[in-house]
Amino acid sequence: MSVELGSFGVWTSYRAIGENNAGEAARLVEDLGFGTFWLGGSPKVSQTRPLLDASRGLTLATGIVNVWADDPASVAAEYAELAGEYSDRLLVGIGIGHPEATSDYAHPLGSMRDFLDRLDAASTPIPADRRCLAALAPKMLALAVQRSLGTHTYFVPVEHTRYVRERFGAGPLIATELACVLDTDTDRARETARRYAKLYLGLGNYTSNLLRHGFDEADIADGGSDRLIDAVVPHGTAEEIADVARAHLDAGADHVCLQPVVVSGVPREQWGALSAACHD
């Protein structure tokens, strides 16, 4: 793996932390010992610049560039500019999005393949080992393995991580996002987790994946069963959440990026507690 991610990272978006706080957030994440800062919310590659500027050795990853919103030639040019300045500190995560969110959505596998073809045809193509694909289902996962460093998975249980590693072997990257709620009050924590999960339980890509990996329609209905919510958005102490992150690593993930959810602003306290628990 040519991009150094570390075992643990964080996942957030400018919508959550405020773009004006980018530098402070990047410095904090690096000082806490996390290896990678995943910038979510379908960012442009160029939007990682403030995070790269503010940090010294932190890896920045996009989670994810949306193929319907960005032109491959522009994505490649933005990557080339930043890679020239920041060497091996940038990983471009690319995703197909969701039919419920994109009116242009069609032929996801073919559209992703076409995007990658156009990316490779750019005057400054992004090398395969500097990009990864958001992938859940077998065919998109296979494309990720064939055409990129591997996959950035999101809203998945440990069983999915184990499945990907067993199916595709030791080589491909598995970088798993893990949403979490730092709260030891179980009822309140599950309510918070359900507020976050509501969007994803309405998106077919995610629900179909959950149905393939141990859950049924009853688990998905009515905001998600306790079993599903606890598996995909664990709650409790930082140590309990770190145990779930390590379970993903034990199942085959190379990297887990932690996302404390339903938090406004830079989650200093949550990131600090998770760092202490993960790096203990």
**DSSP of 211-243:** HHTT--HHHHSTT--HHHHHHHS-EE-HHHHHH
pLDDT of 87: 87
Of the candidates 65, 44, 31, 35, the one whose C-alpha atom is nearest the C-alpha of residue 175 is: 35
Of the candidates 237, 233, 173, the one whose C-alpha atom is nearest the C-alpha of residue 198 is: 233
pLDDT of 102: 78
Q: Cβ-count burial of 59 within 10 angstroms (0-12 exposed, 13-18 middle, 19+ buried)?
A: buried
* φ and ψ at residue 133, rounded to 5 degrees: -115, 140
N-terminal to C-terminal alpha carbon distance within the chain: 25
What is the DSSP pairing of strand 131-134 with strand 150-153? parallel
The vertex-49 CA angle with 111 and 144, nearest 5°, equals 30
pLDDT of 90: 98
pLDDT of 191: 98
Q: Cβ-count burial of 252 within 10 angstroms (0-12 exposed, 13-18 middle, 19+ buried)?
A: buried
Provide the Cα torsion 19, 21, 22, 26; round to 10°: -160
What's the half-sphere exposure (Cβ side, CA atoms, 13 Å) at 225? Answer: 13
The DSSP bridge partners found for residue 133 are 94, 151
pLDDT of 100: 80
pLDDT of 216: 98
> What domains appear along the chain, each with residue ranges and CATH number?
8-278 (3.20.20.30)
pLDDT of 106: 85
pLDDT of 268: 98
**Below-70 pLDDT ranges, the chain:** 1
Is-contact 91 5, C-beta < 8 A?
yes
Residues in the chain, overall count:
280
Instruction: Please give the structure tokens belonging to residue 99.
Output: 């039919």
82-109 tens-digit pLDDT: 999 998 899 999 999 988 877 778 899 9
pLDDT of 107: 94
The residues, ordered by sequence, that sit 6+ positions from 67 with a Cβ below 8 Å of its Cβ are 94, 95, 96, 97, 111, 112, 115
Amino acid at 193: A
| Model confidence, pTM | 0.97
Cα separations in angstroms, 142 against 61, 64, 66? 21, 18, 19
